[in-house]
A and B are shown apart, each in its own frame.
Chain A
């Protein structure tokens, strides 16, 4: 059974003060690992101050686990140091690649869904989990294109990697919605094929609907179609630790808290033994 730690929010710099002063009723916070891979000063001070009062999970964007460049052990060492400092509930990154030829795109770029990529990811995830001495969560990304050399659906690809590497899934409900619109598949089909015992965390977020396609921007409130999909996800997966991801156009803390509480309310309607 996956550990359930309740409902959380992404911790953003503009909200540090509010969180430290008001100690809002939030079960846990997710922080971006890279923001704290610095030597010292205010970022680390605030992180430790908040950690004194809340559980944390570390979410990274730079592991580049799918890249054909060698694994970046400097990065992994920094991550390991941060893990020792912060003692997070768990750590996560994405099923994607971000850099190649030593150039970093600073974006979560899609993998082709084929056997070569599966084996590549399984090898590297195993190395990372060995190095970190723990299971790592990987998140499904929003994507805007399908490669001609993909041989399977995204959910088959993810399920196979999870089975072979024994990693966990951070399931981003918004990313499923975004990708389903961009590629014309059913988001329910995606979820139906994911083993609930592998899903450790949910992300909820907003996006920009451009009509013909949808862009994952994290700068809007969680929209109705994502709330609906979340309700369906709860029926299939049961209770899963859930957080609201907001990276841009960041509102007052209380607004994010209200969104988080909305997620909590929706979850109350789901029978506990659903999964």
Chain B
């Protein structure tokens, strides 16, 4: 007979549609066949994982339509059994799966929509932190500006796209027909606002360069240097301060160092 470990591995093999001898260890009771009894568990496993994908990737589901969504849910569930404690993380590898797996890989906007939804979810429950204000910035002594570095709110992320995935996501969210897939190289800022609501907006190139510079540990002087590619020497400081101010207003700067 099965010891506990064998029993559990055989049961799991059954759930994963692998070869399993678990049926040998299940009693026939009340006229309900062993296959029906095991089927209840097998079915529940797939239904639960599928509904977790539906929950976390609502717009992706609408974009794909029922048939493609079912194909994706079955394919992903089979190829990526959950290693996670919480179902919240089950779709962690979904964007990668969609990038690499036919027929989804042929339409790259699909993986980008999935990735965008992952990032929104990340912002939703990322850690809490202090948010600096404009007063904090103005009280910084003049001589400290060149060496000033920033720490951002944990929910803040830069989302890079090559396709018009974000406009498509927005159209579907507003229950409109999404545009045709087309190339769109863009950067998006995602963050959780003061009211704990997730927001996003597009980033201009100079603003992206500046954010990215700070994220990689650059100080204000380094960043102004980088901005010379986009602005004249006279304009650099004004533009940098405009961006800093807007970041403070939306609450994505945690601290100055």
Contacts and interface: CB of A to CB of B under 8 A. Distances in A.
B137 interface: no
A62 to B, nearest CB: 5
A90 interface: no
Nearest to B197: A42
Interface string B85-122: 11110100000000000000000000000000000000
B41 A109 contact: yes
Given A41-B124, A62-B85, A146 B29 contact: yes
A40 interface: yes
Contact of A34 (B86, B126, B128, B154): B86
Contacts of A182: 29-30, 32
21 contacts: A40-B126, A40-B129, A41-B123, A41-B126, A42-B125, A45-B196, A62-B86, A68-B4, A97-B8, A100-B8, A101-B12, A112-B7, A112-B25, A145-B41, A146-B26, A147-B2, A147-B26, A148-B25, A149-B1, A183-B30, A215-B40
A35 to B, nearest CB: 8
Interface residues of B, number: 51
**Interface size class of chain A, counting residues whose CB lies under 8 Å from the partner chain:** 35 or more
Contacts of B86: 34, 37, 62
Contacts of A120: 4
Contacts of A147: 2, 7, 25-27
Interface string B39-62: 011001100110010000000000
Contact of A184 (B24, B25, B30): B30
Nearest to B33: A212
A193 interface: no
B81 interface: yes
B160 to A, nearest CB: 23
A34 B85 contact: yes
B37 interface: yes
Given A39-B127, A145-B37, A68 B8 contact: yes
Contacts of A146: 26-27, 29
A38 B154 CA distance: 13
A103 B83 contact: yes
B26 A148 contact: yes
B253 interface: no
A42 B124 contact: yes
B84 A104 contact: yes
B36 A39 contact: no
A116 B4 contact: yes
A206 to B, nearest CB: 16
Contacts of A62: 85-86
A106 B49 contact: yes
Interface centre among A44, A105, A147, A183 (most CB of B within 10 A): A105
